[in-house]
Chain A
Amino acid sequence: MANEQAGTFPDPLSVPTPEGCEGWEEMYPYYVLFSEDRAEYERSKFWFQNRYHLMDPMKPFDMVTPEFCYIAIANRNNRIFQLPPATGVDFRVVNGYGYLAGSPVLDGERIAARAAVFGQRAGHYFENWAEIERDWQERTNAEIAKLEALQMPDLPELEDMSVVTNHQAHGAGFEMHQFFNRLMEAKHLAWHFHMEMILIGFGAYFTFFEFCQQAFPEIDKQTIANMITGLGGTPFDRADEELKRLARVAVDLDLDDAFGGGGSAEVTFKGLADSEAGRQWLEEYDKSKYPWFMVNTGDGMYSHHRAWIDDPRMIVTGVQGYITQLRAGKDLTRPQDQRAEGDRIARGYRELLESEDDRKAFDAMLGLARLVSVHIEGHKFYIEHWWHGLFYNKVRDLSRVFVKYGFWDDTEDIFYLHQAEVLEALIDMLLGWAGEWPARGPKYWPPKVQRRREILERLQDWTPPPALGPVPEVVGDPVLSMLWGIDGDALREWATPVDADTTQLRGTPASSGVVEGVARVVHGIDQMDTVQQGEILVAPTTNPSWTPVFSRISACVADGGGMMSHAAIVCREHGLPAIVGTGRATRAVKTGQRIRVDGNTGIVTILTGGGPEGLGGGREEDR
């Protein structure tokens, strides 16, 4: 994918539109498109595809995520904390795919001035972290409760008499507008909550990582990560524990067959309702489901990342997997000694340090990294999963009104409109409702929605280049390396063209062990059911909500992500070899090929050309 000139990726303004997708730009707001009028800026930046969060082409409405998220990042890092080396991440959309650019501060004096402000402000957070974290949790819970309570108003034929007797100025039209505004505010606010503590938390992680790598040049990143993480007890762990509990209940009730039928999740749930034992299980399910199964099937970045409650495939898959393990006599109890192991490793490295000064620095940095780790590992559940799940479902409530007034046919169609267009449509609808004359929407939107659906389906088959523009001199922003794995190694790998003969890929070794097995390339959550026991999952990215799948795979390879991406954390917890940040595994590897995943070195080797002879379980080689 790289141009012939070394160190340069394709020109951001010259990426061709795939056939049949002409006019895709019309779906997105003007400010996310590469444009000639600010070409100099566009061409000066290094843009990388955000495979970690935005691996699918984005429906126009889903732009709310990057829009609010990247406002929140830059707002927090730049305008509030004055992070010394960078002001935030800018973003663009090309053929439906999201690209990001770091924004390093290059002027030394400016960096120094920012450092002074940052020290004071981030220092306030670091010094009062535990207290602020408790407060953050309370504030977050309160906002989630507010969103839960946010009710969509009716648009009645005749408004209630109380509007008259209460001398109420506004009618339901205003309330509907207010509902929409509050909903969008809630989404925007979620991202500010998300970024309040997490970014400087990553700063603390980054500091400890860099120290360890300087003191021990040969240390691998997963060893550093093991020293920090592994406290457990995150809401994701809780969701996983609930799945195990439900699997035990199913085993006790002899419900193996109900889960082993191979039918859809819907059929499974219907079947359960038909028997006494099944109904008992469903009662237990009701106790588990809220809020823990508000975990969604992705990471909340897209409207199609449905909460497990709404898309119970993950629940059925997970319970099924655990039933199999229970019947095989496996103990599902979480390993308790993970933190003990982390402590042991930390003590070992600490002893090896040369001086008392080094040990003091090590203690301070490890202490801070561990302090922030609970928030880093747990925050996503509250923001991206619970909060977002509620948000998207209330957008669906709104969409049902549009469906009722003939704007489109399917509740999900609202996501083919950008948030600004939804507001336009809302005003159109409210005008029509209030005066009982025809709105234009029912004529205007259906063909647009249809065209956009076609384009997005086609774009799904397009492979976005991993990066655009010139390689940057300085990355600067610690989040870029911690979360997206942007460093010299990654960029070199991305710049290597993929050809048919590629048999080796290099990524970040994220979880140790070597496994050989059959690859299953999965591009999105919709294909999760195809994963067979013992296969090696190859995905653009993974996240903790895919947890149930980890009970059946033997290793994981991801295009995106760094050491602290959730794929890495989950694999370490499950003791599966993992390599993240390969840049192109989903393109280079084909389903059915035998591959070797070396989680110690970060090398993926394609062993066979695929085909049915290779199908079968993975072989554990060296754990």
Chain B
Amino acid sequence: MSAELAPVVWFDELEGDVRAVAGGKCASLVEMRRAGFPVPPGFAITVAAFERFGEETGVTAKVERLVAMADPDSTESLRAVSEQIEALAAEVRLPAGLLGPVESAYRRVARETGEDDPAVAVRSSAVGEDSADASFAGQQETYLWVRGLTELELAVRRCWASYFSPHALSYRARLLGGPVSGGLGIGTVGMSVGVQQMVDADVAGVMFTRSPTTNDRSIVAIEAGLGLGVSVVAGEITPDQIWVNKVTREIVKRTAGDKRLRYVPNRDTGGTRREEVPEDEATRLCLDDATARQLAEYGVRLERHYGAAQDVEWALTRGADGEPTLVLLQSRPITTGREAREPVATPLPSQTDYVVRQLLATSQKKVQM
């Protein structure tokens, strides 16, 4: 990795191959910000920091020894190795040369938000993550409502440790086609961490730029829950479902779900906690039509921007003026494998031929009772 690469870089100042220095998650956030989407600001702790941490603390050598012992075909072995690496990460603190830039970036967040210890979201961002053909979705860590430098520093180390989760180890072994150790060299791939201003979500959820049931391309399907998006992403609740037609912008489906729990910030201790939701609120639609349309509009633009169907995480928060404001937290291509589809109709020489072909198809069509 390039020696000049700074350990901490603001999203809007990342240049060159962002994916290689800040990982897939950060690269995606950066690209969305550049394209004008409402993504909360933040900074990346780059793969250079990951590398320096390992080298300066001697962790790399220990990790490589541990990984070399692992049997990629044994879940038990991978888990044992992973646990030992996690324990290492829990003990070894960031050297001052790395902590300094992290601290000064965090202080800048404090200045911008006007809070002493602003809440941030800390997300792992592996190189190779979020690419269309190899989704690491959910394999790495996210820490929400992290407050204070101490907590931030711990969250960063945990994110790094997640690079060696049993699943990730096994995945990289398969992806790189060799024994675990062969593919492990830190520096060939690596782990960045994204730190973003925390979004205080009243409502959050996911959005697909396809119908989840029929793959219809004219539909944007929104699922919404209360509080942080975790309850929706983890499938812990039945979210509201709102479908928007991309062409007519009409709401074509509104189904109130049962959102009986939500994740809210734990104001005293940091982090989040689960909370029961009163029944009437749980079963009432939590997203109005205008907001759903605006969200769908973002979906259409994201799809156009990336040239592929997108799976988007979003949240509804309150802006400085108290007005509801939509923010986007992530967008990645839908990897359902359903995209490769036969064309609906092969072209025919004349208009009459289309009618004839349809009538022949209809003559076979059974009535479904």
Contact = CB atoms under 8 A, between A and B. Distances in A.
Given A85-B362, A105-B363, A478-B362, A220 B252 contact: yes
Nearest to A475: B367
A409 B180 CA distance: 104
B250 to A, nearest CB: 7
B311 to A, nearest CB: 18
User: Which DSSP category, helix, strand, loop or mixed, fits chain B's interface?
Assistant: loop
Interface stretch (A200-208, A381-389, A550-558): A200-208
B211 A218 contact: yes
Contacts of A355: 343
A218 B216 contact: yes
A355 B347 CA distance: 11
Contacts of A495: 369
Nearest to A368: B351
A361 B358 CA distance: 12
Given A115-B356, A600-B250, A471 B344 contact: no
Nearest to B243: A218
Contacts of A115: 356, 359-360
A492 interface: yes
User: Which DSSP category, helix, strand, loop or mixed, fits chain A's interface?
Assistant: helix
A210 B217 CA distance: 16
Interface string B346-368: 11101111111011111111111
B341 A354 contact: yes
A118 B341 contact: no
Given A211-B344, A471-B367, A123 B359 contact: no
A66 B251 CA distance: 42
A133 to B, nearest CB: 15
Contact of B361 (A210, A488, A491): A210
Given A85-B363, A478-B359, A352 B351 contact: no
Contact of B218 (A214, A349, A475, A600): A349
Given A200-B355, A471-B369, A488-B368, A223 B214 contact: no
B317 interface: no
B318 interface: no
Contact of B343 (A126, A206, A345, A357): A357
Contact of A352 (B218, B243, B352): B218
B369 A349 contact: no
Contacts of B369: 6-7, 471, 488, 491-492, 495
Contacts of A223: 245, 247-248
B285 interface: no
A257 B147 CA distance: 76
B219 interface: yes
Nearest to A104: B363
Contact of A218 (B219, B352, B354, B356): B219
B347 A364 contact: yes
A367 interface: yes
A474 B362 CA distance: 8
A206 B359 CA distance: 9
Nearest to B350: A123
B345 interface: yes
A584 B245 CA distance: 30
A474 B363 CA distance: 7
Interface string B203-242: 0000000010011111100000000000000000000000
Contacts of A476: 362-363, 365
Contact of B356 (A119, A215, A216): A119
Contacts of A6: 369
Given A123-B352, A219-B218, A474 B365 contact: yes
Nearest to A126: B352
A286 interface: no
A361 B348 contact: yes
B359 A358 contact: no
B44 to A, nearest CB: 35
Contacts of B246: 348, 352
Contact count band on A: 35 or more
A10 B247 CA distance: 44
Contacts of A210: 358, 361-362
Nearest to B216: A218
Interface string A215-238: 111111001000000000000000
A127 B355 CA distance: 12
A279 to B, nearest CB: 49
Contacts of B351: 126-127, 204, 364-365, 367-368
A312 B251 CA distance: 42
B367 A211 contact: no
A613 interface: no
Interface in A63-92: 83-85
A104 B359 CA distance: 11
A218 B252 contact: yes
Nearest to A215: B344
Contacts of B215: 217
A360 B369 CA distance: 34
Given A84-B356, A85-B362, A357-B343, A349 B247 contact: yes
Contact of A361 (B346, B352, B367, B368): B346
Contact of B364 (A219, A357, A474): A474
Contacts of B363: 84-85, 104-105, 111, 474, 476
A491 B367 CA distance: 9
Contact of A360 (B252, B347, B360, B361): B347
Most buried by B among A218, A355, A361, A491: A218
14 contacts: A85-B363, A111-B363, A118-B356, A122-B352, A203-B359, A211-B354, A218-B243, A218-B245, A361-B344, A471-B369, A476-B365, A487-B367, A488-B368, A488-B369
Given A218-B243, A495-B369, 4 more contacts: A207-B358, A358-B345, A476-B362, A492-B369
Interface of A: 6-7, 83-85, 104-105, 111-112, 115, 118-119, 122-123, 126-127, 200, 203-204, 206-207, 210-211, 214-220, 223, 345, 348-349, 352-355, 357-358, 360-361, 364-365, 367-368, 471-476, 478, 487-488, 491-492, 495, 512, 600
